[in-house]
Amino acid sequence: MDIIQAIKERRSINFFETGKSISKEKIRELLELANLSPSSMNLQPWRVVVVMEAERKKILRKCAFDQPKAEEASAVLIMIADPKGVEENLGQVLDSWQALGFIKPEMRDTYTGMVKNLYDTEDSLKRKLFAVKNTALFAMNIMLAAKGLGLETHPMDGFDEDCLKKEFNIPADKTIPMLITVGYLRQGITLLPRAFRRKIEDFVRFE
């Protein structure tokens, strides 16, 4: 499937084939593809909890205001934005840039200073926005890559974040921008037509 087709055909699916599992290998393939997403300074400040076990999905549904798809989909990805991604990943990013010849060793301090200036301290709003925006880009690529792998998805922010953090052991400093359900369209379901989109003229200004 080409990218244009994937964009056109992706829909938020409410009715998943229940009891149809996805292998861990398939989920891994999906995440490997999405992991090619761009990120600020390549810092990749995201984490994912993949919920596949029936009992765990039941709990997840409870945290997601009882939305059935949270339990009926084959897997649910808890998308986690990690404000500490800067401190945790910067070393690896610089090592790889140095190894690839993108930067010289003496430039490491300059980049470290630049990152601190751009993304502030780990408890700041700026840092939270940094983590959330990059995780949202990663999430979008998960949904498009899923189409390419023959899977359907549904992004969800209808959930109690505290409940998810408690039940799935996610540290308080993280943010959960969304869940993504992943699975297969239930047999016999016909999707309603795609809902309206605003006209380009309503939100774009050319200068």
Ligand X SMILES: Cc1cc2nc3c(=O)[nH]c(=O)nc-3n(C[C@H](O)[C@H](O)[C@H](O)COP(=O)(O)O)c2cc1C
Cβ–Cβ under 8 Å, residues 86 and 115: yes
Q: State the Cα–Cα distance between residues 54 and 74, nearest whole angstrom.
A: 9
Nearer to ligand X, 170 or 180 (CB): 180
- Shortest Å, Cβ 140 to ligand X: 8
Residue from 9, 66, 95, 157 in contact with ligand X (CB under 6 A): 157
Interaction pattern, residues 113-152, with ligand X; x per rule: CB under 6 A: ----------------------------------------
Query: Using CB under 6 A, which of 158, 162, 166, 171 touches ligand X?
Result: 158
d(CA 4, CA 70): 28
Alpha helix ranges (H) inside the chain: 3-9, 24-34, 54-63, 69-72, 85-99, 108-119, 125-148, 161-167, 200-203
When CB distances to ligand X are compared, the closest residue is: 158
Q: Which residues on adjacent β-strands are paired with residue 76?
A: 51, 181
* The residue type at 169: N
Work out how close the CB of 23 gets to ligand X at its nearest, in angstroms, rounded to a whole number: 25
Window 165 to 194, contacts with ligand X (CB under 6 A): 178, 194
Site for ligand X in 47-76 (CB under 6 A): 67
Site for ligand X, rule CB under 6 A: 11-12, 67, 155-158, 178, 194-195
